[in-house]
């Protein structure tokens, strides 16, 4: 059982709701789902405002909300279903207009969840709408947890056939049957209560940011996602103004021993934040900064994951003074957080200064990732698990050429930032030069981007040099094998490359060494995902040419595709003992001083290519200084390996 909660920003319109349904669909593949939803964005505010209007003006405000929901229904449904769901919305609207204005604010979640439950059912999913007002008991402003847990557990146990329970967040009722709310932002708490009551396997809070960040990214653009945070620190940030998580949502999860995962609806591949039982450190590091406005002042709260060094207070004071900000007071509270009281109006300047002091002087790297295919996903996974130095800022999924992605990167990146291209786009390379010119490093696993016409390639290299930024693409040939680096070493040391021979097509290598008949082996290679999307790319040597161009250019040879003699593989002529070899050989009579070819070649047992099996790659480099060749051989395929090579390019 997984509990997924989506906030209002994730439900702003029909497009956003469709995105939510995709995420729910993926969760459904793993088991039962409880789907907790907020009101669509802005709806609760509108309802509260409506209650404050003179009675004669309420109908107009109510109609506007009715229209907004009908518009969503119009986009999500057609035909008879559209009519039925419009009726449900109309009934909810009528209940609203008859309700006590004090209760208006409870209607946003009723609208949104009734529409979503209907949509799931319309898609053939066994979904059931549960009325949280009957399940969550709120007396004297506090949740009666034991009572609520019993009701929730029963409601779910009564319907073993249901796949997705759809639950309005935010609302409950008191023992007199009067509707009550959990307070603004309370849907997070609804989710936490359901997860605890049902001993869920996972509690996910989906929102419009990549997780709990070092501060609100709307206030400080360079805010970073916090990969892991303790319940205490998350509570402290939430209680002091970080509304990404509603503070009262922490306790039910902590008591039930559940982690809370904060995830980004708009970038579902990002690792997000895990709130869990992470121990305090002996000496605290800064975790995040929140702020909140009070009638008399604004208070920043700097939160650490252990005791704060006593020198932090005077240092903070003097740094703020240097920025012309006079704090009213700076005090350590408990031993793991500092409260800074400020005049109204000073808070943003102070926040930026404090954020800089706490988070922007370390050795971490911001990564902007394009492409969430196999390699991109593996990279996110590795980063999420292992490296706190890397902060993934933005991910473009398919829209590799998405202007907005690049514009936002230009606006937020620093000189240490890295743009990572894990797409297989033919055209994204056009961004490399502007990215480098913006002072951002580039790491690429996209071989199409590096095998563009030589003039374009040379321009990228020149720009990187001029801007003193790196452009690394080791992954494009032989995944994690250190091939390009080795060639580079020869080229940089005034050595002269005499020849390069490479067995770099995993597909063909697999086919040629599988021992199976050609057609059968090809099918198998396709099955296990070795081939390019279009296998003729492999057989025609197209993919091998790209690798060869990259190899040659790394050796300083300005090779173009038209310089390479390619003999495509004809399945009927394949002989045992052959390998598909890409080669460059020095030849002073050739136009560029080298001959390049890609062809099937018979190899003998003493040839280094003989031993290359399956998805291994092999490259042999002969140079003037090293007449006996340098041979690099090893696994040349696999998303995880490619991702680890990308990571190495980012960090080395």
CA distances from 114 to 157, 223, 292, 490, 622 (A): 21, 36, 34, 67, 70
Q: Which CB sits closer to ligand ASP, 189 or 417?
A: 189
Task: Tell me which of Mg ion, ligand ADP, ligand ASP, none is bound by residue 619, counting a contact when its beta carbon lies within the kind-specific cut-off of 5 to 8 angstroms.
Answer: none
The reply on whether position 7 binds Mg ion by CB under 5 A is yes
In the numeric block, which tokens belong to residue 574?
Answer: 């394949």
Close Cβ partners of 401 (under 8 Å, ≥ 6 residues apart)? 425, 427, 428, 430, 431
Q: Please, are residues 264 and 252 in contact by the beta-carbon 8 Å criterion?
A: no
Stretch that binds Mg ion, among 2-10, 165-173, 537-545, 587-595 (CB under 5 A): 2-10
**Which two three-digit tokens encode residue 218?**
């709307």
Residue 207, CA atoms < 13 Å, CB-side half-sphere: 19
Q: Which partner, Mg ion, ligand ASP, ligand ADP, none, binds residue 169 by CB below 5 to 8 Å per kind?
A: ligand ASP
Q: Report the Cα 472 to chain-centroid distance in Å.
A: 22
Binding segment for ligand ASP (CB under 6 A), chosen from 36-44, 279-287, 431-439, 492-500, is 36-44
The angle at the Cα of 426, spanning 422 to 429, to the nearest 5 degrees, equals 70
CA angle 463, 468, 473 (to 5 degrees): 70
Q: How far is the CB of 195 from Mg ion (least distance, A)?
A: 16
Q: What is the DSSP string of 250-319?
A: HHHHHHHT--EEEEETTSTTS--EEEE-PPPPSS--EEEEEEEE-SS-EEEEEEESSPPPTTHHHHHHHH
3-state secondary structure 541-574: CHHHHHHHHHHHHHCCCCCCHHHEEECCCCHHHC
Residue 425 partner contact from ligand ADP, ligand ASP, Mg ion, none using kind-dependent CB cut-offs of 5 to 8 Å: none
Write out the DSSP string of 96-118: HHHS-GGGGGGHHHHHHHHHHHH
Each residue 494-533 as x (binds ligand ADP by CB under 6 A) or -, in order, gives ----------------------------------------
**Which is nearer to ligand ASP, 42 or 535 (by Cβ)?**
42
Among 10, 88, 128, 169, binds ligand ASP (CB under 6 A): 169
Distances (CA, A) of 254 to 211, 519, 560: 18, 57, 60
- Quick note: the x/- pattern for Mg ion over 184-203, rule CB under 5 A, is -x------------------
Q: What is the DSSP string of 391-423?
A: EEEEEESS-TT-HHHHHHHHHH--TT-EEEE--
Binding to ligand ASP by residue 49, rule CB under 6 A? Answer: no
Q: How many CB atoms lie within 10 A of CB 596?
A: 25
Q: Which of 23, 35, 39, 530 binds ligand ASP (CB under 6 A)?
A: 39
Residue 288 binding target from Mg ion, ligand ADP, ligand ASP, none, CB below 5 to 8 Å by type? ligand ADP
In the complex, minimum distance from the CB of residue 13 to ligand ADP, in angstroms, rounded to a whole number: 14
Residues numbered 72-131 forming contacts with ligand ASP, rule: CB under 6 A: 108
How many chain residues interact with Mg ion (CB under 5 A)? 2
List binders of ligand ADP among 208-267 (CB under 6 A). Answer: 208-209, 212-213, 215-216, 218, 237, 242-244
169 part of the interface to Mg ion, by CB under 5 A: no
Closest CB 46 distance from ligand ASP, rounded Å: 10
Q: Is 38 in the site for ligand ADP (CB under 6 A)?
A: yes
- The residue nearest Mg ion at its CB is 185
Residue 601 CB, shortest distance to ligand ADP, in Å, is: 57
The token duo for 478 is 């032989």
Pick one of Mg ion, ligand ADP, ligand ASP, none as the site partner of residue 274 (Cβ within 5 to 8 A by kind). none
| Closest chain position to ligand ADP (CB) | 7
Stretch that binds Mg ion, among 1-9, 11-19, 406-414, 453-461 (CB under 5 A): 1-9
Closest CA to 634 of 531, 510, 487, 482: 482
Continuous segment of H or E residues that includes residue 92? helix 79-98
Query: Helix-strand-coil percent breakdown of the chain, rounded to 5?
Result: 45, 20, 35
Pairing of strands 202-207, 260-264: parallel
9 binds ligand ADP (CB under 6 A): yes
Partner touching 225 among ligand ASP, ligand ADP, Mg ion, none, CB below 5 to 8 Å by kind: none
Q: How far is the CB of 352 from ligand ASP (least distance, A)?
A: 27
What whole-number distance in Å separates Cα of residue 60 and Cα of residue 99? 16
Which option in Mg ion, ligand ADP, ligand ASP, none does residue 376 bind, with CB closer than 5 to 8 A by kind?
none
Q: Of the candidates 62, 168, 172, 185, which one interacts with ligand ASP according to CB under 6 A? A: 185
Q: Which residues bind Mg ion (CB under 5 A)?
A: 7, 185
Q: Which residues bind ligand ADP (CB under 6 A)?
A: 7-10, 38, 185, 207-209, 212-213, 215-216, 218, 237, 242-244, 288
Q: Which residues bind ligand ASP (CB under 6 A)?
A: 7-8, 38-39, 44, 108, 169-170, 184-188
């Amino acid at each position: 059982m997984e509990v997924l909660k989506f906030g209002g920003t994730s439900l702003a319109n029909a497009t956003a709701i469709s995105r939510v349904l995709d995420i729910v669909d993926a969760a459904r593949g793993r088991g039962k789902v409880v789907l907790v939803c907020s009101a669509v964005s802005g709806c609760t505010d509108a309802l509260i405002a409506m209650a404050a209007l003179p009675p004669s003006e309420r109908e107009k405000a109510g109609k506007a909300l009715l229209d907004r929901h009908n518009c969503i229904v119009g986009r999500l449904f057609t035909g008879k279903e559209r009519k039925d769901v419009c009726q449900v919305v109309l009934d909810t609207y009528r209940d609203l207009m008859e309700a006590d204005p004090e209760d208006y604010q409870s209607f946003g979640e009723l609208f949104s969840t009734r529409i979503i439950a209907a949509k799931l059912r319309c898609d053939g999913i066994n979904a059931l709408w549960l009325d949280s007002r009957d399940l969550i008991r709120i007396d004297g402003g506090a949740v009666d947890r034991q009572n609520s847990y019993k009701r929730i557990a029963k409601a779910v146990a009564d319907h073993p056939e249901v796949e997705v329970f759809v639950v309005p967040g935010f609302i409950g009722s008191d023992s007199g049957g009067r509707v009550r709310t959990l307070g603004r932002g309370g849907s997070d708490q609804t989710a936490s209560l359901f997860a605890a009551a049902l001993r869920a396997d996972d509690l996910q809070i989906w929102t419009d940011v990549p997780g709990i960040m070092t501060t609100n990214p709307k206030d400080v653009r360079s805010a970073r996602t916090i990969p892991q945070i303790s319940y205490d620190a998350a509570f402290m940030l939430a209680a002091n103004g970080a509304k990404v998580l509603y503070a009262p949502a922490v306790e039910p999860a902590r008591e039930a021993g559940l982690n809370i995962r904060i995830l980004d609806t708009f970038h579902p591949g990002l690792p997000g934040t895990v709130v869990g039982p992470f121990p305090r450190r002996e000496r605290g590091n800064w975790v995040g900064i929140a702020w909140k406005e009070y009638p008399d002042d604004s208070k920043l709260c700097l939160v650490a994951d252990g005791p704060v060094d006593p020198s932090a207070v005077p240092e903070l004071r003097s740094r703020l003074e240097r920025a012309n900000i006079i704090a009213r007071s700076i005090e350590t509270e408990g031993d793991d957080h500092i409260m800074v009281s400020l005049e109204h109006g000073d808070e943003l300047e102070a926040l930026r200064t404090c954020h800089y002091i706490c988070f922007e002087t370390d050795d971490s790297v911001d990564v902007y990732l394009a492409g969430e295919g196999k390699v991109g996903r593996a990279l996110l996974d590795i980063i999420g698990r292992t490296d706190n130095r890397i902060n993934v800022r933005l991910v473009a999924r398919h829209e590799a050429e998405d202007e907005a992605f690049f514009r936002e990167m230009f606006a937020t990146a620093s000189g240490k930032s890295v743009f990572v291209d894990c797409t297989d786009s033919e055209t994204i390379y056009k961004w490399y030069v502007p990215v480098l010119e913006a002072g951002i490093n580039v790491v690429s696993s996209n071989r199409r981007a590096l095998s563009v016409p030589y003039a374009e390639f040379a321009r990228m290299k020149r720009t990187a040099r001029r801007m003193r930024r790196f452009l690394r693409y080791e992954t494009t040939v032989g995944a994690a094998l250190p091939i390009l680096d080795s060639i580079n070493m020869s080229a940089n040391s005034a050595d002269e490359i005499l020849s390069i021979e490479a067995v770099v097509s995993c597909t063909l290598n697999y086919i040629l060494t599988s021992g199976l008949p050609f057609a059968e082996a090809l099918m198998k290679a396709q099955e296990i995902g070795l081939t390019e999307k279009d296998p003729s790319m492999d057989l025609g040597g197209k993919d091998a040419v790209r690798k060869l161009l990259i190899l040659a250019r790394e050796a300083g040879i300005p090779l173009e595709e038209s310089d390479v003699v390619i003999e495509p593989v004809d399945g009927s002529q394949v002989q045992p003992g052959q390998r598909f070899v890409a080669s460059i050989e020095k030849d002073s009579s050739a136009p560029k001083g080298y001959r390049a070819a890609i062809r099937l070649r018979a190899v003998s047992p003493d040839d280094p290519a003989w031993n290359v099996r399956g998805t291994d790659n092999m490259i042999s480099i002969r140079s003037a200084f090293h007449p006996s060749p340098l041979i690099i051989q090893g696994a040349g395929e696999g998303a995880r390996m490619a991702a680890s090579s990308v990571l190495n390019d980012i960090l080395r």
